[in-house]
Chain A
Amino acid sequence: MSRRIRIAVLGPALLGLGALFAWAIAGLPAFGDYRGPYGYVLNRVVVPLRHTTNVVMGTTFDVRGVDTMGEEFILYAAVLGVMLLLRDETRSRQAERRTRRLPSDAVRLVGGLMVGGGVLVGLWLMAFGYITPGGGFQGGVLFAGGILLLYLVGSHRDYRPFRIVHALDPLESLGAGGYVIIGLAALASGTAFLTDLLGLGTAGTLRSGGSIPLLNWASAIAVSCAMLILFAEFLETYVVPLEPEDAGS
């Protein structure tokens, strides 16, 4: 389809879609008039039944646990696709070794301080996710970002950022698979998939929520590794300013 036809079709299509949206919106309850029962029920029930003070996390890893498992596999599949598409190309380029331009001392200092901050806040988000806002998903991205910064500001002359990237592959699988194993463990002991086996603990402490902390850590590992692999695959060639070896420093 040529560009002109495409844009000619776009106008009427947008009008139609807009009309459908208007129709749909007219049927929705007004903003703030929430009607569905689930929100009210969960807000009453999750804290007494699951002892997680962050109801959103209780929903993510317990009420909606199977769905979150699906999300994790979407993540896994997407990262797998990126690897398949980009890793092959990277191999063929390994021969041309180039070195990075070293960043200035100021960049290194500020960046170095931010590495610690990013990693620490990331770990904190992961650990306390089911008590206060946070969780394995957000913490995982932040943790991976902190680690990545270590590479960006580091003084390594070698441009290949993550020699350990191959160690990340099994670790990511462990995170995604661990989620399933925790679910299957419940199944093996005679209860339903993902049922809690550990006892609920005290609400508001780290020892609360039964299997939710374990599922949270499994997702944290899966998300951190997925992000690190993703960044590594994209960065492995030609990202930060590169210079030929002899012109370096």
Chain B
Amino acid sequence: MSYLPYAVAAWICLVGIVGVATSKNLIHLAVSLTVTQSSSYVLLLSVGYVRHGVAPIFVGTKLGTTAVDPVVQALTLTDVVVSVAVIGLILALALDAHRLSGTVDPDGLADISG
């Protein structure tokens, strides 16, 4: 399974993009976007994985034991939390668009002007 993890990340990214492009509902679109985003977490953690490595937390583990990369984990953990606020912002925009145009279909937004 030497390249399978990266292939999974690429697959998730493409699947999310298909969801965004074919979406008929802005809320569905926002969730599909988070699927695309989750591919980056899978890729980062796969790249940082060390064979036979343990979690980079040295409680009950001797210092110097081979551990996986903490940098990618730090990147992922903050981004996951921030993504909630970002999807919140996207959904707020969707609600605003719905208020103005009366539809959640992205194709119906063309009528909004000004």
Contact = CB atoms under 8 A, between A and B. Distances in A.
A contacts B: CB pair < 8 Å = yes
Interface string A171-199: 00000000000000000000000000000
A64 B72 CA distance: 11
B46 interface: yes
A6 B21 contact: yes
A188 B92 CA distance: 40
Interface string B51-90: 1010111110001100111111111011101101110110
B84 A14 contact: no
Interface in B1-59: 1-7, 10, 13-14, 17-18, 21-22, 46-51, 53, 55-59
B53 to A, nearest CB: 8
Interface of B: 1-7, 10, 13-14, 17-18, 21-22, 46-51, 53, 55-59, 63-64, 67-75, 77-79, 81-82, 84-86, 88-89, 91-93, 95-96, 99, 107
A89 to B, nearest CB: 7
B18 A14 contact: yes
Contacts of A78: 82, 85-86, 88-89
A188 to B, nearest CB: 26
Interface of A: 2-3, 6-7, 10, 14, 17-18, 21-22, 25-26, 28, 30-34, 36, 38-39, 42-44, 46-48, 53-60, 63-64, 68, 71, 74-75, 78-79, 81-82, 85-86, 89, 131-133, 135, 137-138, 140-141, 204, 223, 226-227, 230, 233-234
A18 B14 contact: yes
Given A14-B14, A25-B7, A32-B50, A79 B74 contact: no
Contact of B57 (A7, A38, A55, A138): A55
5 contacts: A28-B47, A39-B50, A63-B74, A78-B82, A132-B59
A137 B77 contact: yes
B92 A82 contact: yes
A30 B3 contact: yes
A68 B75 CA distance: 9
A44 B63 contact: yes
A236 B88 CA distance: 14
Given A44-B64, A60-B77, A137-B77, 18 more contacts: A10-B18, A31-B49, A32-B2, A38-B71, A39-B48, A42-B56, A47-B58, A48-B63, A55-B67, A56-B73, A56-B77, A63-B71, A63-B74, A71-B82, A78-B88, A79-B85, A86-B92, A226-B85
